[in-house]
Chain A
């Protein structure tokens, strides 16, 4: 094991230096920024109109007499535009301690409310994870004005932004999961061709003989995989920083629906699942790419490999809507879709233990695929070991 890791380190160090210190690495770093910037710009525009009112529910603490005109105003607004695009109002009768009631409603004990409206009609106050100039607050101002029925002395709506609220619905959290899942898929997709061609250099330069005589073949695979992982993590840091800058310039992190595990744990899991997704696909790509003798063969292989990746992404994405469904669990268990399925789960379900089990499971598969890859490489490329027969020889 020590010999294997030492050899992997020597190979990994060389590969990492050769990748990162080359001029082309700058293009590698810049490449994903273009779609990210465009995505950020257009996402910001679209998000501004859609983001805050997609089936958002607001609890209204009010008497029947006060709530009636507001609900009527909401219905009028819903008749004028699409009903689904108008904030839903849930009537709650006031309790003696309204402040405590508001806190309870925001914490999610009695429903998934993005905000709580109280003090209507004379002193309307809105509290929750919303922006004062966002569409939710804007719609409520319109409703309050409409409910006042031409009363010129309509008091202004006081909006209090709170970071924590029960506002994000499971659907919101699924959106966070989908964003993380798509990002993981996208980054791994970008790296797949690089991984496919990793061994072509050694094979075309005939260095493979020197390496194979000096270290176990597994070292070659592990070294290459981790060198590329290190290079891609470097890229990920650059890309994440750029993405964070784009997000921050538009709305800030609070504009995104918070995940069930909380931001710190979720972000840590995103990084871990990126690494796991990369290692799993990387091990498979390295195994497939090792069979290719030329760059042309790698190019030919890259299309079916990309389709395979998309298929697995589709499988993982299908389970996002229902994280405890059989489909989602199957996607979590199947090694190649496991990181994508589990990162979405991290956004939707608060438990940590399933993630620890999943990470251990994925690591096991990384080791198994690498072992298989090295064995196949020895047999098919180095022509070593007994020939594998997939079906019995005819008598």
Chain B
């Protein structure tokens, strides 16, 4: 088994920082003043619908493309290529040499990041064994299933035990079991001290994994901060079912309350739950059911990025 890397955390420093990144492709502005701070050792999510500018932002952070303006720093280096040996990257469009053996494909990615080939091959074999793919080590990539090939590429991304792992839409194309495995692997990498940044258009993944997120819509950062802070932007939601359909208690229900499956759904008033409860009791509502729910990230996303951006996102029930 591979020894987990002992990453030095950047105490008080961010693994990635971007200030006012702008990227123009001809007349089209793909990214418009994106600023991010990714604390080292954290799991950071870039959320946004397709075409929002997530991949372009990641490619700028990795130095694959240069920004039209703005600055970025990766693991303390201003030129991302200078930090390349400590970075692992899984692009959205996966790619491997079809004729290459699985072990060699992983080792090749390690060698690109500075591992000696012999050591890279040794680690590749261990990683393949760990993931029950040992018997496929000497088989060409073209003979692997799509899921296996994706695992091989992920192993190639982490073979050199990077301090920063950037995953662009890592869950796309994976079945539920492999998604859960990948989530577990991401958590393990973070526990070992690596910083993980991943982009997704599936809110549930970000909600389950991330400490911090950036919501990107139309090339701009609509929100950047802790997941809890995003949720805290919304008031708790009240779900109320009453016996009485009308009465004095109706005066405390906000005008924008909506009906959902026999329940009244509305934001908890700023005065808090006690005055609401008292008014309902005193006003003869006849409470049958009352729940005060913390808003989910999806609700926060809708509030921050707007309905249209949220509609373009894929909503997924937590597993």
Contact = CB atoms under 8 A, between A and B. Distances in A.
12 contacts: A3-B84, A205-B97, A206-B93, A210-B89, A210-B112, A213-B84, A214-B109, A215-B81, A378-B66, A382-B64, A382-B65, A384-B64
A206 B95 contact: yes
Interface string A244-270: 000000000000000000000000000
A10 to B, nearest CB: 5
A215 B112 contact: yes
Given A216-B81, A385-B66, 10 more contacts: A13-B117, A14-B97, A201-B97, A202-B95, A207-B95, A207-B96, A209-B59, A213-B62, A213-B87, A213-B91
Interface residues of A, number: 30
B164 to A, nearest CB: 11
A7 B109 CA distance: 11
B112 A384 contact: no
Contacts of B89: 209-210, 213-214
Nearest to B25: A383
B99 interface: yes
B108 A14 contact: yes
Interface string B85-126: 001010101111111100000001101111001000000000
A233 interface: no
B68 interface: yes
Mostly, the A contact residues are helix
Contacts of A22: 99
With most chain A CB atoms within 10 A of its CB, the pick from B63, B64, B68 is B64
A33 interface: no
B113 A214 contact: yes
Interface string A352-395: 00000000000000000000000000100011111100000000
Contacts of B99: 18, 22
A6 B64 contact: no
B12 interface: no
Interface of B: 25-26, 59, 62-66, 68, 81, 84, 87, 89, 91, 93-100, 108-109, 111-114, 117, 156
Contacts of A207: 95-97
Nearest to A383: B25
Nearest to A4: B81
A282 B71 CA distance: 36
B74 to A, nearest CB: 11
A385 B25 CA distance: 9
B91 A210 contact: yes
Contacts of A387: 26
A93 interface: no
A208 interface: yes
A99 interface: no
Given A3-B81, A205-B95, A383-B25, A214 B68 contact: no
B318 to A, nearest CB: 30
Nearest to A206: B95
A177 B65 CA distance: 47
A387 B65 CA distance: 12
A189 B123 CA distance: 42
Nearest to B58: A213
Given A210-B109, A213-B89, A6 B95 contact: no
Nearest to B84: A214
Nearest to B26: A387
A242 interface: no
Nearest to B153: A210
Contacts of A13: 117
A18 B99 CA distance: 8
Given A215-B112, A384-B65, A209 B91 contact: yes
A211 interface: yes
Interface in A204-240: 205-216
Nearest to A22: B99
B96 A10 contact: no
A164 to B, nearest CB: 51
Nearest to A387: B26
B65 A10 contact: no
Contacts of B117: 13
B31 to A, nearest CB: 12
